[in-house]
């Protein structure tokens, strides 16, 4: 049985704003905190390491307002990040899944790993549970993002530790997990996009209750991605049949494309493409395919008509400007 590693990080940023920010490292980790739970959400052990900063050696004023440490303590008691991470990786063991409140911690962890030239020590694809998202699926509308302390309060969990200290926030995240109906949310695992697939072999297809997700390999441009057959194909999530497109892909937002397909056995299927940018500039797509009803199909038809009118208006404006 896998163990759950509930990870939480605290980080610092440039006290002088964007001018002092190091490229590809907007946040420098100053604390790693985690708790390890067994499959029944029982506490197994805790982990905490302060990290000695070497990039941003003055705490940003916003960080000072929330963290329970100062630069003097970090310099005196902190380990250098590579050492702190190696201790953390050894503590994690081999068979585990990350659980995070939100998705930013894994992104910033990987940015710090890349900055310190530590290779790719994390699994790929990196699958994890976003407990904030799962909490919203169970108790909200599936989209609302609530803070950890709000969730703790709403669930009536005893607040016997402070917030905004990495290990304590990990502890509270684990307590929230223990209150959830885990069987309902367990299928909804998340995939981290910091390192998109490099080639066809690494491309990811995940099947969830009610929809299928596909993560493509990286492309040089958006146009190249959209022209790729595997990106544009629509597949039925139930019978895996190649589907006929009733409405071909059209742009429905700056980075969103929609289409409507039909399966002769399982009915209408909505396709949605999100254009994503990788850390170093390449483009990849996240495509979801979801069965829908006639009313939802009419909404897609209306959006296509709206998109067509906007395109005509833009073209007319360009034509008039060139006269």
| Contact residues for 72 (Cβ-Cβ < 8 A; gap 6+) | none
Of 217, 215, 230, residue with least CA distance to 274: 215
**Residue 323: pLDDT over 60:** no
pTM of the predicted model, to two decimals? 0.92
Half-sphere exposure of 155 (CA within 13 A, CB side): 25
Please tell me the distance from the alpha carbon of residue 225 to that of residue 196, in angstroms, as a whole number: 13
pLDDT for residue 1: 61
Q: Whole-number mean pLDDT of the chain?
A: 93
Residues 150-197: tens digit of each pLDDT = 999 999 999 988 887 899 999 999 999 999 999 999 999 999 999 999
pLDDT for residue 322: 66
CB 266 within 8 A of CB 236: yes
Beta strands in the chain (DSSP E): 3-12, 28-37, 43-50, 96-100, 127-130, 190-191, 204-208, 211-215, 244-251, 256-263, 267-277, 283-291
């Amino acid at each position: 049985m896998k163990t759950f590693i509930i990870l939480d990080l605290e980080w610092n940023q440039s006290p002088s704003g964007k001018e002092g920010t190091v490229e590809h490292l907007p946040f420098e980790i100053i604390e790693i905190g985690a708790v390890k739970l067994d499959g029944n959400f029982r506490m197994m052990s805790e982990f905490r390491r302060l990290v000695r900063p070497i990039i941003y050696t003055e705490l940003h004023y916003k960080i000072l307002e929330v963290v329970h440490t100062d630069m003097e303590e970090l310099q005196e008691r902190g380990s250098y990040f590579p050492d702190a991470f190696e201790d953390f990786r050894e503590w994690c063991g081999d068979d585990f899944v990350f659980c995070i409140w939100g998705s930013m911690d894994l992104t910033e962890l990987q940015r710090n790993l890349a900055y310190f030239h530590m290779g790719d020590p994390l699994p790929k694809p990196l699958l994890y549970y976003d407990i904030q998202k799962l909490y919203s699926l169970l108790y909200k509308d599936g989209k609302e993002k609530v803070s950890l302390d709000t969730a703790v309060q709403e669930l009536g969990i005893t607040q016997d530790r402070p917030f905004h200290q990495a290990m304590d926030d990990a502890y509270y995240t684990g307590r929230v997990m223990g209150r959830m109906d885990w069987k309902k949310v367990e299928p909804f695992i998340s995939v981290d996009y910091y390192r998109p697939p490099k080639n066809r072999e690494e491309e990811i297809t995940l099947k969830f209750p009610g929809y299928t997700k596909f993560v493509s390999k990286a492309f040089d441009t958006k146009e190249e991605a959209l022209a790729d057959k595997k990106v544009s194909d629509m597949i039925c999530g139930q019978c895996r049949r190649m589907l006929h497109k009733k409405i071909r892909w059209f742009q429905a937002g700056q980075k969103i494309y929609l289409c409507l397909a039909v399966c002769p056995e399982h009915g209408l299927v909505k396709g949605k493409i999100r254009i994503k940018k990788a850390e170093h500039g390449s483009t990849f797509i996240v495509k979801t395919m979801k069965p829908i009803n006639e009313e939802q199909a009419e909404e897609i038809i209306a959006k296509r008509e709206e998109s067509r009118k906007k395109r005509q208006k833009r073209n007319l404006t360009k034509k008039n400007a060139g006269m």
